[in-house]
Amino acid sequence: MRVLRSPLTARLLFPVAVLVFWLVSIELIQHVWPFAVDVLPRPSEVRDFIWDELRLDTFAPYNVFETFWISLKRLGIGWLIAMGLGTMIGLAMGMSKGANAFFNDWVVAVLAMPNLAWALFVSMAFGFGNTGPIIVVVLTGIPFVIINVREGVRNTPRELFDMSRSFRVSQSKTMRHVLLPSLMPFMFAAARYSFALGWKGLVVAEVFGGDDGAGWTMKFWYDAQRAHGVVGYAFFFMVFAIVFERFVFDTIAKRVFRWRPSLTEVEVVEEMFEAEAPTLAPAAQAGR
Amino acid sequence: MTATATADEGLTEPRITAEDIVRRNRRRDRTVIWFWRIMGYVTVLGVWQYASGRWMREELLPSPTKVLSTFREIWAEGDMPSAFQATLSRIAVGFALSFVVGLAVGILMQNRWLEGFFKDAVLIGITTPGLIWALITAIIFGNRMAGPLIAVVLTTFALITVNVHEGIKALPKDLIDMSKAFRVGVVKRNRQIVIPHLAPYIFTGVRFGFSIAWKIVVLTEVFASSTGIGFEMRVAQQLFQLDVFLTWILAFYVLALFLEKVVLEQIERHFFRWRRGLTAA
């Protein structure tokens, strides 16, 4: 009885509940109201589809592993550009009121623009290929990097700056030893957010302007009206996102924040994550 | 000059107080800020206008002036209000649903067992791109009303749930214990303690959730609708009319920004008057 009451059982029970709900809905729709839906994917079809894909047996031009690898490469390049450019602009905005005034309205504007708009525009302006999706990744991720870096600069403890000035430490040394270390948690939050958001933007960009990649393949199955393909690929997406967000970033966080023994590393980033949310302008970090 | 003469002159000179210096610095900051802010607009719009003819073909990058004239044309044709209305009504209904679901799940997650149960649902809700839900509902529900609504709920509920959950976790236990000790009724306790405490969390959820909801509605309309902003955008894309496309998205984007910044922020300020009153006192 104790086992049944533990939260872990609840967590394992959830997929079971989803499956049951799915099967019940299929029965209900088939017998009560067939016109409620156009196509009805069945769990067995989806399971077969997923198994086939994993065995590299697919109708799509590329199999699931190649597809996600193509998308990952684009995401990586765009993310690096966003981090580099964003950090420079963020530093400038944090250190100078003029720079802040210059860029601020545009950062807000880019932040609030839906991925769809970038994706459609870029697909028309740049056609197929890698450029379009990479540009969308940069545009989606850069506002977050800028905002986080700017907050990081503003949140550096003033006393350290005063101290380095009184000890006549040079500008470059001050930046390296005072600014950069206290910027680390913010950079980490920036990296994590921009990666997650960039991924979402990339997928939309690939749907409209690509001939390969995860987003395009999803659209491939949608155009082929194979509901089990669409749901199956959605499953791959969820697994991919969970693997990357939870495992990769958490392990990196543990190593980067070894020097902070008081809090666990994950807590530091989670703190930043949570703390940023109320103060930041709209997100989507989540679902954008 | 005798000593007394200099002393007299010293008394008639205007004295510069510390306040004056602060005021002067603030005024200088304000000018600098406004100058650079305007320069930002001038630079971006100027580069855009310049790039339109010279760096990229006019069809691929319509200039700001072209977008404005297209806007006037489309407005004159009269299609805009109906498209806006279709999209806005979907957003209203969809977001209301997401709010209810998100709030319910967040409240349910107080219980540890239910927290474990919903944990993965929230995780998937937050990490899955909205496009996925849009495509799934589009293929299952086709053109029906249910499609965009379900997609919005699935995309936004998690954000509201997380905020409500955090708010409930952070409820000030000491105040609640105190109210129980003084036998304050449940209703009064909720009104005076629980709701004011939860209000900022719920509000954050609403703000972020709304910004996501309108984007997902427009996205689903691209795939599975015959009315609305998203539909108009898809039509413009298929006809390769970038200027029309830009006009629609910019028009809607301005409206959405207006709703987010002006409307929601005003409501927030109204709600949290009492907090600022406290700090002022």
**Quick check: A213 and A67 in contact, CB under 8 A?**
yes
In whole angstroms, what is the distance from residue A171 CA to residue A92 CA? 15
For residue A183, pLDDT beyond 70: yes
Q: What are phi and psi of B100, to 5 degrees?
A: -60, -50
Lowest mean pLDDT among B27-31, B52-56, B138-142: B52-56
pLDDT in tens, B194-228: 888 888 888 888 888 888 888 888 888 888 877 88
* B93: confidence class by pLDDT, cuts 50, 70, 90: very high
Contacts of B165 (CB under 8 A, 6+ apart): B106, B109, B110, B115
Q: Which residues on chain A are in Cβ contact (under 8 Å) with B246?
A: 121
Structure letter (DSSP) for residue B182: T
For residue A77, the model assigns a pLDDT of 94
For residue A276, the model assigns a pLDDT of 40
Distance from CA of B123 to the nearest CA of A (A): 8
* B9: confidence class by pLDDT, cuts 50, 70, 90: low
* B97: confidence class by pLDDT, cuts 50, 70, 90: very high
Least CB–CB distance from B139: residue in A6, A7, A225: A225
Distances (CA, A) of A37 to A32, B98, B142: 12, 21, 7
For residue A59, the model assigns a pLDDT of 74
In whole angstroms, what is the distance from residue A177 CA to residue A174 CA? 5
Give the residue from chain B lying closest to A107, CA to CA.
B40
pLDDT in tens, A73-123: 999 999 999 999 999 999 999 888 888 989 988 898 888 888 888 888 888
- B62 conformational bin, left if phi > 0, alpha if psi -120 to 50, beta if neither: beta
How crowded is residue B85: how many other Cβ atoms within 10 Å of its Cβ? 12
**pTM of the prediction?**
0.78
A81 or A227, which is more confident?
Answer: A81
In whole angstroms, what is the distance from residue A23 CA to residue B206 CA? 33
In whole angstroms, what is the distance from residue A229 CA to residue A203 CA? 16
In whole angstroms, what is the distance from residue A105 CA to residue A272 CA? 24
For residue A261, the model assigns a pLDDT of 52
Asked if the Cβ–Cβ distance from A114 to B218 is below 8 Å, we say yes
Asked if the Cβ–Cβ distance from A10 to B115 is below 8 Å, we say yes
Q: Which residues on chain A are in Cβ contact (under 8 Å) with B132?
A: 203, 218, 234, 237-238
Lowest mean pLDDT among A193-207, A237-251, B62-76, B115-129: A237-251
Per 3-state DSSP, chain A is made up of helix, strand and coil in percentages (nearest 5) of 80, 0, 20
In whole angstroms, what is the distance from residue B41 CA to residue B55 CA? 20
Of B216, B155, B150, nearest to A286 by C-alpha is B155
**B251, two tokens:** 């028009």
- Report the mean per-residue pLDDT for chain A: 80
pLDDT in tens, B130-146: 888 988 888 888 878 88
For residue A136, pLDDT beyond 90: yes
In whole angstroms, what is the distance from residue B254 CA to residue B67 CA? 13
Contacts of A274 (CB under 8 A, 6+ apart): B166
pLDDT in tens, B60-77: 778 888 888 888 888 888
* B82: confidence class by pLDDT, cuts 50, 70, 90: confident
For residue B234, the model assigns a pLDDT of 85
Q: A21 and chain B: CB distance < 8 Å anywhere?
A: no
| Burial class of residue A214 (count of CB atoms within 10 Å of its CB; 0-12, 13-18, 19+) | buried
